[in-house]
Structure 1
Amino acid sequence: MQKTKLWTMNFLIDSMTNLFIYLAYYLLMVTIAVYATDNLQASPSEAGLASGIFIVGALFARIFAGRSIEQVGRKKMLYFGLAFFLITTLLYFKITSLQFLFVIRFLHGVGFGIASTATGTVIASIIPNERRGEGTSYYAMSVTLASAVGPFLGMFLNQQGSFSMMLVLVVILLAVSLITVFFLRVPEVSLTKEQLDEMKRFALNNFFEAKAIPISIISVFVGLGFSSILSFLTSYTREINLIDAGSFFFIVYAAAILFSRPVTGRWFDQKGENFVMYPAFLLFAVGLIILSQAQQGLALLLAGGIIGLGYGTFLSSAQAITVKVSPRHRMGLATSTFFSFIDLGIGVGPFFLGFMIPVTGFRGLYACAAIVVFACTILYYFLHGRKAAEYGEPPAAEG
């Protein structure tokens, strides 16, 4: 039987828009802690806060965006999020103090949260149900490419260019996204009067999708583990004199995901989520262990590849699980619930981990992160894995 078409123009536009959104995110995320330390005399915990408060803003935005996206309209929400993300980027040119940086980072995170929630909701409505795992895996490659190119460019511009040059690049990316989204055709869900009335109520279940919470809880701890890399890898490689190898860490990380993702996506659809999720946790933990003990560039890059296989597989598979277990008319809410929780882990991680560094050092930090990620295998079993077979195929897509 012929497969339903996946690579449509709408799929490509939304994926490209998401790529640019995450490029803007990663460009600044990997360098903002160093910028705060070098230019604003921030302490390690303050530098971590400058990095993580962006995600707190994204978390705040996702909670409200997920609740209202189906009422406002998916495309309108995407336009608003991109515009706000662009405007707050321009505020970086006016940084005068550490406190002002905190405010800008929070607002910038709000724009990112709205825009990325919208792109995730749009893509979930575009992907055919029978290719859910495969389609989500390909879409998540936009984040993978951004996670490779963004940190590489960010670290390169931090060494060879300037912070202002980086900001100009972010502005260009977001401006192009705003123009491109004009050509995007978005399937909008038709809510019944009962569904609309229910979603308008100020109740907890209108801010979070209950069925998405189990896998989302796990994402908090996985996100915390990844935040140790995202916020402190630059400082770690500087300390162990592997700056050159460190600049290629995310390139190897992304290459591992790009080669594995088509396979893991098909395995998800054909063999079930447990077949890919348990190895994902183990690989991520092993990668963190290798990272914590790296003495040479080869070991650092090996860690990047293994972490890419583990974290990359988890991220796309967990997102597909979120959509799979949730009602169709609450797709936007389910998407925002999942990303809100993973944002929580990535957002609070740098602040608390910053307090650990003086005690454990960077090597001890990554060893502790490995223990947390390994423990997620047990947590996953009890929250989702043991009952994964109970979830059948989701209802047919609208549009």
Structure 2
Amino acid sequence: MNEQTKNNIWTKSFVIIFLSNFFLFLVFYALLTTLPIYVLDELNGSETQAGLVATIFLLSAIIVRPFSGKLLEDFGKKKMLMISMLLFMASSFLYLIVDHLYLLLALRFFHGIWFSIATTATGAIAADLVPDSRRGEGLGYFAMSMNIAVVVGPFIGLTLLQVTTFNNLFWVLSVLMVGAIVFTALVHDPIVEKSAKRKLSLNDLFERKALPVAAVASLIAFGYAAVLSFISIYAKSLGLMEAASYFYAIFAAAMLISRPFVGRLFDKVGPNIVIYPAIGLFAAGLFVLSITNSSMLLFLSALLIGLGYGTLVPCLQTLAIQSAGRGRSAHATATFFTLFDIGVATGSYLLGLIATNFGYQQLYITTGIIVIAVLFVYRLMMKKRREAEEKNYKAVKIG
């Protein structure tokens, strides 16, 4: 095996896990977009109840995520990925027979469990597959599977609702999950050795070395909740609902265009060269949202947020995995997304209070300030990380 082949990212196994993750997130985003409408139109629920279909899904993911690293370690990443994808697919079919709000909420909780385990497994396997020297670039490419799904999923869901029924929509999404199962069956995880089973400990729930990076990611997720949860409502209040349909397309395009050279910079120069500017771009996009009164400003904010936020998540995830080491990739991934999900969940609730009491403009100003504050938190974290590395180096040298 020559050096070029050894350092190749786009291997057959990487493409397969990329496609498996893409279909998983496609169904996730399609349901996330359409189920609130289903609650309002088909189940005669309230807007608060419509919001619960996303909240309870996220809640189950937060509860289960810390345990997923241990499950992957004990039973194997490939095996747990296959089980969780099969049960995620089964849950997708169950939407066809659920016709009551409380049954729907119970299904969403059940569905979220398998989403949590499956996404931890796909992220950990992708981290195992990419070469160490190109991990930032490789995980950046892997994140494109989610970036594309955030556009394709809502597009499929909302387009189908214009021409057919919810029942047919659920059939289509369930069949798409069958495709995901096919790809999952072909997944190969290069790291197959497992440690002996032992009693559950704190180390099995969280990767302590990844916690500082995950905490930074949680703050970024808190700011992103303002976009994820409120951008459509904000655009509607401004009379820009038609323009809002293009927001996520520009958002995703910005992430995809920047991804190749951002990942290379991360690997060759280091994380700071991309993370500091990305934080600034994300904050700038939120500030632009706070003064938006036209389609052009809305599109500009999508571009800035796509470049900033789209760079931060894969880069911070790479840092979390690097801090833990290859053998703990599943635990680091679980820890990262646990705190990330907590950031989104708390952000959606607390920022909703700000929007209700002070308006959406104040909401985006507040989140812009919070993201700017992340600059200083990240700098402090990297300083302590560097000091710890120097201390370990001296200890090894003396020893």
Match for residue 56 of structure 1? 59
Structure 1, 129-138 or 53-62: larger mean CA deviation? 53-62
Q: 1:87 aligns with which of 83, 87, 90?
A: 90
> For the Cα contact (< 8 Å) 1:45–1:355, is it kept in 2?
no
Query: TM-score if structure 2 supplies the norm length?
Result: 0.90
Match for residue 207 of structure 1? 205
Alpha-carbon RMSD: 2.2
Q: 1:237 aligns with which of 230, 235, 238?
A: 235
Offset at residue 178 of structure 1 (A): 0.6
- Residue correspondence of structure 1 range 88-107 to structure 2 within 5 A: 88-107=91-110
**Partners of 1:32 and 1:367 in 2: CA distance:** 29
Offset at residue 220 of structure 1 (A): 1.5
The SS at the match of 1:93 is coil
Q: After superposition, what is the alpha-carbon deviation per residue over 1:205-245, rounded to whole angstroms, capped at 9, x for unaligned? A: 11100001001111112112222222222222222221221
> For the Cα contact (< 8 Å) 2:43–2:101, is it kept in 1?
yes
Match for residue 11 of structure 2? 8
Alignment CA distance shift 1:224-1:263 (3 Å):
same
Match for residue 345 of structure 2? 347
Match for residue 130 of structure 1? 133
**Partners of 2:372 and 2:48 in 1: CA distance:** 25
Q: 1:28 aligns with which of 28, 31, 41?
A: 31
- Residue correspondence of structure 1 range 1-399 to structure 2 within 5 A: 2-3=3-4, 4-40=7-43, 42-158=45-161, 161-191=164-194, 195-197=195-197, 200-384=198-382, 387-388=385-386
Amino acid aligned to 1:18: N
Offset at residue 150 of structure 1 (A): 2.1
Q: Which has the larger radius of gyration?
A: 2
Q: After superposition, what is the alpha-carbon deviation per residue over 1:273-308, rounded to whole angstroms, capped at 9, x for unaligned? A: 111111111111111121222211121111111111
Structure 1: where are the runs of 5+ without partners?
393-399
Indicate the structure whose relative CO is greater, using CA pairs within 8 Å and at least 6 residues apart: 1
Query: TM-score if structure 1 supplies the norm length?
Result: 0.90
Alignment CA distance shift 1:340-1:48 (3 Å):
same
> For the Cα contact (< 8 Å) 1:30–1:231, is it kept in 2?
no
**Partners of 1:228 and 1:46 in 2: CA distance:** 19
Offset at residue 249 of structure 1 (A): 0.9
**Partners of 1:99 and 1:90 in 2: CA distance:** 17
**Partners of 2:47 and 2:355 in 1: CA distance:** 8
**Partners of 1:384 and 1:166 in 2: CA distance:** 46
The SS at the match of 1:384 is helix
**Partners of 1:169 and 1:342 in 2: CA distance:** 30
Amino acid aligned to 1:124: A
The SS at the match of 1:26 is helix
Q: Percent identity?
A: 35
The SS at the match of 1:25 is helix
Offset at residue 42 of structure 1 (A): 4.8
**Partners of 2:232 and 2:163 in 1: CA distance:** 15
Amino acid aligned to 2:59: V
Amino acid aligned to 1:317: C
Q: After superposition, what is the alpha-carbon deviation per residue over 1:48-80, rounded to whole angstroms, capped at 9, x for unaligned? A: 332222122122222221112022011111111
Structure 2: where are the runs of 5+ without partners?
391-399
> For the Cα contact (< 8 Å) 2:232–2:241, is it kept in 1?
yes
**Partners of 2:25 and 2:387 in 1: CA distance:** 33
The SS at the match of 2:79 is helix
**Partners of 1:339 and 1:238 in 2: CA distance:** 31
**Partners of 2:173 and 2:220 in 1: CA distance:** 27
**Partners of 2:43 and 2:263 in 1: CA distance:** 44
> For the Cα contact (< 8 Å) 2:96–2:171, is it kept in 1?
no
Amino acid aligned to 1:256: A
**Partners of 2:127 and 2:87 in 1: CA distance:** 23
Offset at residue 38 of structure 1 (A): 4.7
Count of aligned pairs: 387
**Partners of 2:34 and 2:189 in 1: CA distance:** 34
Alignment CA distance shift 1:77-1:237 (3 Å):
same
**Partners of 1:102 and 1:354 in 2: CA distance:** 21
The SS at the match of 2:196 is helix
Offset at residue 146 of structure 1 (A): 1.0
Q: After superposition, what is the alpha-carbon deviation per residue over 1:94-125, rounded to whole angstroms, capped at 9, x for unaligned? A: 34343333222221111111111111111111
